[in-house]
A and B are shown apart, each in its own frame.
Chain A
Amino acid sequence: MIILSQKLNLKLFSTDVEQVSTRKGFGEGLIKAAEADKRIVGLCADLTESTQMEPFKKKFLERFIEIGVAEQNLVTVASGMAAMGKIPFVGSYAIFSPGRNWEQIRTTICYNNQPVKIIGSHVGVSVGPDGGSHQALEDIALMRVLPRMVVISPCDAIEARKATIAAAKKDSPTYIRLTRNPTSIITTEETPFEIGKAQIVFKSEVRGTKSDPLRRSFSEARTNSKSKNPNSQFDVGIIATGALLYRALKVAKKLETEGKNVIVMNLATIKPLDEHAIIKIAHETRALVTVEEHQIRGGMGSAVAECLAAHFPVPIEFIGVKDQFGQSGQPDELLEYYGLSEEDIYAAVQRVVLRK
């Protein structure tokens, strides 16, 4: 069941769960942050409306700079403004920023150590009809490799708003990746959020013992495997980042009804990685599935694997895009085509448990 202390949306699993895009949450967060701190400025590369910087521009016109279609300039100008004490938020599509301007971000933001906040909207194949050229699937890899860069991938609009406000208060370069289309609201105003902290959002009620028929299949699989783990209470852990967390939760709920014990983690901050929490979930479950709308190579799952390979190796199945570009289509059909559906997560759980 969902973890009550995380105060998640109680309508989470109902069919009419509210749908809002994370970019909208960012737009609201930017206003809140700017009201609280005069140093915040906004810069946009000709995408003010679709990155949701429009409300900021309307309210704080004197603190807004229209850069035009020039993403290298977007971040280098922001670096200069930060050098003078500003806290710049720069908005574009993730394909263009941090896609096109990576070296400028490396040199003028990270190497210069300026607290610029890079907002990359339109990530993942769920961008939909615009097609593969506009579906950022490499941005986590590009940003998490940079020293000093904080990388955040909010799971819903409310978390995106909180991440924006938190990023404004943090004195480091930060990247926030956002979705174009509305996604299910998972959290509430009361859900805690802290940069760098992973959250357990779902835990099955541990029931019975191996005699429980509902658990038999997984228990047998575990007993037959070579790395027996009498201590682990849970069958599997799912670590998700971004809007796909919603699908991970639905899979967990299904597994729970089948009598399987599942933990689900919301890993909103990909860097710095909450290594303590990741080692803990690995210890408790001994089998993990990572879920993200990004290339498998270099993404959140890779970050988790790097951590666990060094500290507590367990089998991992990776849900993500498999070295491919996206294409036009409706978000749901694309998620299915690229292996990011609930069925894919469910199947990955079955596979990883057998590898225990």
Chain B
Amino acid sequence: MPLTDEKIKVLEAKARDIRRSIVESLIEAKSGHTAGPLGMTDIFTYIYFHALRHDPKKQDWSYRDRLVLSNGHICPVLYATMAHAGYFPVSELKTLRKFGSKLQGHPHREFLPALENSSGPLGSGLSQTVGMALADRMDNGRTSGKQFYCLMSDGELNEGNTWEGAMLAGKERLQNITAIIDRNNIQIDGFTEDIMPLNPLLDKWRAWNWHVQEIDGHNFREIDESLGQAQAVFDKPSVIIANTIASRGIPAFERKFEWHGKPPTTPNEIETARLALKNARTLGGHVESPHHN
């Protein structure tokens, strides 16, 4: 499906709504992660509203694409995107992290059966995706139409389990896998290159026999082209290193690792966040706000 300029405008508007929903759900929850969800909003929006083969009204459709969220803590963006896509009412986002909610603090498929996996502890999602892709290839061969997406963080790449999965996918030449790494350069204790350097990150994945692309994770045109190319590669798994800005959309919070694991809580923080997203308009794939100019 070609990505027209009109569709980009639709996606940008949708991403703005999803960012607002994320922030409102976090304010209501009084705990949770802000930076990752806002940084990955454009990618989630693109996948759910343009790329993913799925049907929110028929959630167990066996031919659906599979989306595995490996870094479960950014689930506010997953939940908000799924709600806007029609999996459950947007009003339920207010139940995030509360007792009895479908929206557990980290994703749990028993509470929200539309999820492909339950996650939280880092570094296992890629291997789960590899298992799914292997099983599908066993049953349907290399020409099966299903895509297996794994969304991961950069900090998560510290986990050895990730590289075990990467090695196996390279060995098995699982062309049906597209991994997307949220390259926002932060993790809980600081900047990724200070905590545990990942660079040269592209070379690492190439050495593991993956097809590697690097994009601006807020530019729908680049997201579209990279996913298209990932699916065109026939003999390798694909990884897209998406450069994102942590807390994208709230300039006062952007790029700051302090916002990794907390929501806006003080009246001042809440007002700053709401105002930034209220004023946010969309231009050429970039969220902009008056504060930012």
Which residues of A line the B interface, CB within 8 A?
41, 62-63, 65, 67-68, 70, 72-73, 76-86, 88, 103-104, 107-108, 111-113
CB-CB under 8 A for A113 and B138, given A83-B116, A83-B128:
no
The 4 A-B residue pairs with the shortest CB-CB distance in the complex, in nearest-first order: A80-B131, A76-B127, A73-B164, A84-B135
Query: In the complex, which residues of chain B have a beta carbon less than 8 angstroms from the beta carbon of A103?
Result: 121
Q: For the complex, what is the distance from the CA of A88 to the CA of B128, rounded to whole Å?
A: 13
Q: Which listed residue, A67, A79, A82, A85, touches B168 by the CB 8 Å rule? A: A67
In the complex, what residues of A have CB within 8 A of residue B123's CB? 72
Tell me if B270 counts as interface (CB < 8 A to partner A): no
- Residue numbers in B under 8 Å from A111 (CB-CB): 108, 118
Q: A80-B134, A107-B121 are known; give 12 further A-B pairs, CB within 8 A.
A: A41-B138, A67-B168, A68-B167, A72-B164, A77-B127, A80-B128, A80-B129, A80-B132, A83-B132, A86-B138, A107-B118, A111-B118
B173 at the interface (CB under 8 A from A): no
Residues on B with C-beta less than 8 A from A63 are 138
Chain A min CB distance to B97 (Å) = 17
**Across the interface, do B165 and A76 meet the contact criterion of CB distance under 8 Å?**
yes
Contact B161 A83 (CB under 8 A): no
Q: Please determine whether B130 and A77 come into contact, CB atoms closer than 8 angstroms.
A: yes
For A83, give its contact among B119, B120, B131, B167 (CB under 8 Å). Answer: B131
Whether B117 sits at the interface, judged by CB under 8 Å, is: yes
CA A108 to CA B126, docked complex, whole Å:
11
> Is there contact, CB below 8 Å, between B116 and A104?
no
B128, B134, B164 interface centre (most CB from chain A within 10 Å)? B128
Complex partner residue of A77 from B118, B119, B134, CB under 8 angstroms:
B134
Query: Is B136's CB under 8 angstroms from A84's CB?
Result: yes
Chain B nearest CB from A172 CB (Å) reads 14
Is there a chain A Cβ closer than 8 Å to B203's Cβ?
no
Query: Which of the residues B108, B138, B172 comes within 8 Å of A62, measured between beta carbons?
Result: B138
Quick check: A79 and B138 within 8 Å, CB to CB?
no
A113 in contact with B119 given A68-B168, A80-B132, A80-B134 (CB within 8 Å): no
B110 beta carbon closer than 8 Å to chain A: yes
Which chain A residue shows the least CB distance to B127? A76
Knowing A76-B127, A77-B134 touch, does A83 contact B117 (C-beta < 8 A)?
yes
B118 pairs with A80, CB closer than 8 A: no
**Closest-CB distance, A65 to chain B (whole angstroms):** 6
- Selected contact of B124 from candidates A68, A85, A104, CB within 8 Å: A104
User: Closest Cβ of chain B: how far from A123's Cβ, in Å?
Assistant: 24
B89 contacts the other chain (Cβ, under 8 Å)? no
In the assembled complex, B109 has its CB within 8 A of some CB on chain A: yes
Complex CA gap A280/B160 in Å reads 48
> How does the 8 Å CB contact mask read for B127-168 relative to A, with 1 for contact and 0 for none?
111111111101100000000000000000000110011011
Distance between Cα atoms of A79 and B134 in the complex (Å): 11
Residues from chain A with Cβ under 8 Å of B119 in the complex:
107
What's the least CB distance linking A207 to chain B, in Å? 55
Which residues B17-47 have CB closer than 8 A to chain A?
Answer: none
Closest residue of chain B to A86, judged by CB?
B135
**Chain A nearest Cβ from B210, distance in angstroms:** 16
Contact A108 B124 (CB under 8 A): yes
From known contacts A72-B161, A108-B128, A112-B109, infer whether A77 and B168 are also in contact, taking CB-CB under 8 Å. yes
Contact B131 A84 (CB under 8 A): yes
Most chain A CB inside 10 Å of its own CB: which residue of B108, B134, B167, B172: B134
**Contact flag A107-B124 (CB < 8 Å), given A73-B161, A76-B161:** yes
Can you list 21 A-B pairs with a CB-CB distance of less than 8 A?
Answer: A65-B172, A68-B164, A72-B161, A73-B127, A73-B167, A76-B131, A77-B130, A77-B134, A77-B168, A79-B124, A79-B127, A79-B128, A80-B127, A80-B131, A80-B132, A83-B132, A84-B135, A84-B139, A108-B124, A108-B127, A111-B118
